[in-house]
Structure 1
């Protein structure tokens, strides 16, 4: 079983590269009967024509039994290197219920779209057109973007996608700020300590506290420091990768690894294995889980270190108060200072367990060792099962229902592998084969590549884009931007308890504030740059824009309450009143 778990941990790092294996699995499952699909260029043939100085016609010839989504069209226009606003006039579409996106509007046979540029095309322009479609037979293509150069004379030339972007970099290096460093270290430490209360971390911490019930002072102190080392080194390692990617020009942020469906699936499998172990299906050994008397053994030290690493991994979907400011500071400073902030975050997260290991008074609150420990251990399996279910839902939102079904089948086979391993003998060979099959199913992407995240929004909510936000602000409308993701537990908690309640929805309508959602479940470079541009490295991010286009947005805390949001709405409403009054006073 140790070999199985080791293979699972290695797979965590490699599963996101499993597209090739997924194609092989699809062929294996589909056999020779699998339908053949057209290349995306043949399924959707696009022609672009400049009709006059402000109108551009886009015409798609769509192959039989293929269709395009109306909601997936995106247009970006730059005239002489400067962004220009465009609006689209769509023809009537066919309404249907789609397997991937629910109720949608689609186009069969052809789509004839008229673009209107607010700025005349009097200079060379670049137009980027994004679209997405599917085949009736089941294949859904990833979004495709084509780039064109437009000239005032009406010439249209398709060009290759730009390979380098000269926009604002993801990391804006600021002068070294040693004066703020102690304050930021304190914020990071406090944020790390609060992380222990998050639902994704608390079960892991509970297991470590449980292990202290039957250990000596020496072992308890030693293992708590090894756990601390695992936490701190893991945070520093994640920070090093994050800073390296950002310095290389990649716009990424805290929790970026959860934007990889492969990582999410591997983490779900790991939680399943841990939960089955706590339920007593198999015994993974004290050196892996460090439960009960196994803590006293020397081999238990790797288990304490691994538990620290695991605590950091499962903490990545969570954001605690104080973390946003500290991490935003960290990525704008030299690497040494940035890494020190992440190390302080790790120390804060490990501090409660260290304190517990040295505090006799805290340990005195625990009942005496007995049968309750086994009962509690089995009970703690259920939060792990719940976390696995949630991660599988995230993977389904990132990819699609077919992939999620394949991964669920893999979880079933993985459970069988653990059962067979516990029987011993020749059955362990079957266990290894089952584990390999589970990993293969987890790599399978099947027929869906794009998922459903952000496909449908609640009534009254708009999908975020820089262009739409700028347009709304120019029109003098107050806007609330909610940067969220399905893998962000803090985001989901805020939405359920505050943002998406009937009371708050009515409050937004009463104050005339437009609610925009920037969904970062899957990687989106524009959203990443938007987050970085407001001094943050992760989500949730909440911004309340006043109606005055020149006014700066209000930055709301990462943990929301009804009063916090209502006060922000009131502040925006007051500013709106002043703007309207000034506008009225300026009229002749």
Structure 2
């Protein structure tokens, strides 16, 4: 069934997930202690030494699970009047989510510099470097300045020439709010929001909004696009405020947390069904073509545009996009106002394509002239929504049980009848109300227990996650791959079917002696929530590759996987290639 659901959803997805896109996973809003990212000056501690032969030695002590990019090093002396030649030591090769194939340094970087002509007493050295944390935060490039003291064979850190801000003040400020990184994180959030438009649930809504522009005046297009933008941004900020409020109240929650409630899943399925029936022309919820989806969103004018923006955010909740993870990971380590600004940037990114389209005559010129094709396209766009409704009903069944799923299907039938009767008008609307109440009753049936009968049988070569089991396996000499997933996570399902659960990839896990461990977060689990938060995440998917060395932390893989990414991670922890026999556990139960 899961394969069928995936096929239905991805059939209509304009973006093929897993085709070379990648980013660190999405960090978690939680009341348990979140990943505390170190200030950049603590993550990368630099010392400068003058050697006997006149060369300089630059030595970085790098915190555990942090690394520096080799290509990002830049060295300048006396405003570039002297040439500095570095001698880079061997580095670890990896495929990075931002820069592609790169060389990086973990633990330490020891780089000698040769100056031509030799540096003199009091020379000013500028050193630029950039690094990231495995847990998903990348720092902007950092430059430190030193003045050489040849008598002591060392160097003293100084302020940037012309700067009047004391170093101590800068460090104190960084402990509260890292405003220097904010522009970079806002950009990542903006890009992540833009990509959300390509997800299968959101794309039909965006397409219908674009269709409405074909027959609108310039003034109407501009007004509606800005009001739609306001709806999207306000909704994202509201979601952030709820997450922060729940965090303060002691609840461990993350992006998409509402989908762990079967009641919300059922309500979303009903919404998708109503939208799809409207697009198919079987029921008529309102007079506006593009605003199909709900009573408010179907209203014409600014109100309809605003609530269409709200609707777009609601239906985007099962999705995560590249670039979102790093930005949200930064947001959870900052004061609330900074965190809210990151969510606002996410909303602006999501609204940006439509806003641009409303002003771009060249983009609109690519559209065919208004005609019957618009009605045909509108009806076609109903089918991704039918597929999404089927998937959500399946998720509800997995969370609770087949009896509840059957009740919800009956509720969906009652909802469809209610919409049809309402469109007939007159006394039949009384029957429509009765059918709608029946649908609500069936959808909220007592069987919707969040601790329901969800039970997923694992493959023979997979094991269920637990902290103790993970520790035991590593102590026994087994590298472990942890897949934190959920049935309501579209990205998770796409990664599993396209990469992780293919026969060739499962054979690669066995070949390298890596145990495949599954942490299923379809229903809320406080232990899994704490585990996610410990790695600085706000949601799933989360993929962790642990070596057998219990002293080392995990390698965190991108949210959008490719086969090459996973194979490279397997190579880095493989035990069989080293001639060590791995202990392959048998499946001992269900999730």
Q: Shorter-chain TM-score category?
A: 0.5 to 0.7
1:243, distance to aligned residue in structure 2 (A): 1.1
The 3 A distance-change label for structure 1 pair 331 and 575 is farther
Question: Are the counterparts in 1 of residues 287 and 299 from structure 2 also a CA contact under 8 Å?
Answer: no
Could you tell me which residue of structure 1 aligns to residue 394 of structure 2? 393
Could you tell me which residue of structure 2 aligns to residue 223 of structure 1? 224
Could you tell me which residue of structure 1 aligns to residue 364 of structure 2? 363
Q: Distance in 2 between matches of 1:556 and 1:356?
A: 34
1:223, distance to aligned residue in structure 2 (A): 0.5
Structure 2 residue 215 is the aligned partner of structure 1 residue 211: no
Could you tell me which residue of structure 2 aligns to residue 384 of structure 1? 385
Unaligned runs of at least 5 residues, structure 1 = 1-166, 581-588
Could you tell me which residue of structure 2 aligns to residue 477 of structure 1? 478
Structure 2 residue 550 is the aligned partner of structure 1 residue 549: yes
The 3 A distance-change label for structure 1 pair 447 and 521 is closer
Question: Are the counterparts in 1 of residues 35 and 536 from structure 2 also a CA contact under 8 Å?
Answer: no
Residue aligned with 1:480, SS: strand
Could you tell me which residue of structure 1 aligns to residue 569 of structure 2? 568
Unaligned runs of at least 5 residues, structure 2 = 1-30, 38-174, 582-591
Could you tell me which residue of structure 2 aligns to residue 169 of structure 1? 33
Could you tell me which residue of structure 1 aligns to residue 538 of structure 2? 537
Could you tell me which residue of structure 1 aligns to residue 459 of structure 2? 458
1:175, distance to aligned residue in structure 2 (A): 3.6
Structure 1 window deviating more from structure 2 (340-349 vs 439-448): it is: 439-448
The 5 A counterparts of 1:206-285 are: 206-285=207-286
Structure 1 window deviating more from structure 2 (508-517 vs 319-328): it is: 319-328
1:286, distance to aligned residue in structure 2 (A): 3.6
Q: Deviations over 1:269-299 (max 9, x none)?
A: 01111111111122211469536xx99x994
Question: Are the counterparts in 2 of residues 481 and 518 from structure 1 also a CA contact under 8 Å?
Answer: yes
The 5 A counterparts of 1:144-183 are: 169-170=33-34, 175-183=176-184
Structure 2 residue 210 is the aligned partner of structure 1 residue 346: no
Kindly report the root-mean-square deviation, in angstroms, between the aligned alpha carbons of the 2 structures.
Answer: 2.3
Question: Are the counterparts in 2 of residues 547 and 575 from structure 1 also a CA contact under 8 Å?
Answer: no
Could you tell me which residue of structure 1 aligns to residue 559 of structure 2? 558
The 3 A distance-change label for structure 1 pair 252 and 447 is closer
Question: Are the counterparts in 2 of residues 396 and 451 from structure 1 also a CA contact under 8 Å?
Answer: no
Question: Are the counterparts in 1 of residues 231 and 309 from structure 2 also a CA contact under 8 Å?
Answer: yes
Q: Distance in 2 between matches of 1:574 and 1:321?
A: 31
1:450, distance to aligned residue in structure 2 (A): 4.1
Could you tell me which residue of structure 2 aligns to residue 443 of structure 1? 444
1:513, distance to aligned residue in structure 2 (A): 0.3
1:410, distance to aligned residue in structure 2 (A): 0.6
Question: Are the counterparts in 1 of residues 450 and 523 from structure 2 also a CA contact under 8 Å?
Answer: no
Structure 1 runs of 4+ with >6 Å offset: none
Q: Distance in 2 between matches of 1:400 and 1:449?
A: 11
Q: Distance in 1 between matches of 2:32 and 2:225?
A: 43
Question: Are the counterparts in 2 of residues 548 and 576 from structure 1 also a CA contact under 8 Å?
Answer: no
Q: Deviations over 1:367-422 (max 9, x none)?
A: 00000011111111111111111100011111111111001001111111111111
- The TM-score with structure 1 as length reference comes to 0.67
Could you tell me which residue of structure 1 aligns to residue 313 of structure 2? 312
Q: Which has the higher contact order (CA 8 A, sep 6+)?
A: 2
Structure 1 window deviating more from structure 2 (277-286 vs 249-258): it is: 277-286
Q: Deviations over 1:136-182 (max 9, x none)?
A: xxxxxxxxxxxxxxxxxxxxxxxxxxxxxxx9535759642112111
Aligned length: 411
Q: Distance in 1 between matches of 2:355 and 2:576?
A: 48
Structure 1 window deviating more from structure 2 (253-262 vs 273-282): it is: 273-282
The 3 A distance-change label for structure 1 pair 578 and 458 is closer
Q: Distance in 1 between matches of 2:577 and 2:530?
A: 28
Residue aligned with 2:339, SS: helix
Q: Distance in 2 between matches of 1:335 and 1:405?
A: 43
Residue aligned with 1:515, SS: strand
Residue aligned with 2:574, SS: helix
Question: Are the counterparts in 2 of residues 287 and 301 from structure 1 also a CA contact under 8 Å?
Answer: no
The 5 A counterparts of 1:108-123 are: none
The 3 A distance-change label for structure 1 pair 427 and 468 is same
Residue aligned with 2:307, SS: helix
The 5 A counterparts of 1:295-306 are: 299-306=300-307
Could you tell me which residue of structure 1 aligns to residue 407 of structure 2? 406
Q: Distance in 1 between matches of 2:535 and 2:176?
A: 17
Question: Are the counterparts in 1 of residues 512 and 576 from structure 2 also a CA contact under 8 Å?
Answer: no
Question: Are the counterparts in 2 of residues 176 and 333 from structure 1 also a CA contact under 8 Å?
Answer: yes
Residue aligned with 1:179, SS: coil
Residue aligned with 2:463, SS: strand
Residue aligned with 2:354, SS: helix
The 5 A counterparts of 1:49-198 are: 169-170=33-34, 175-198=176-199
Residue aligned with 1:518, SS: strand
Q: Give 1 or 2: higher helix fraction.
A: 1
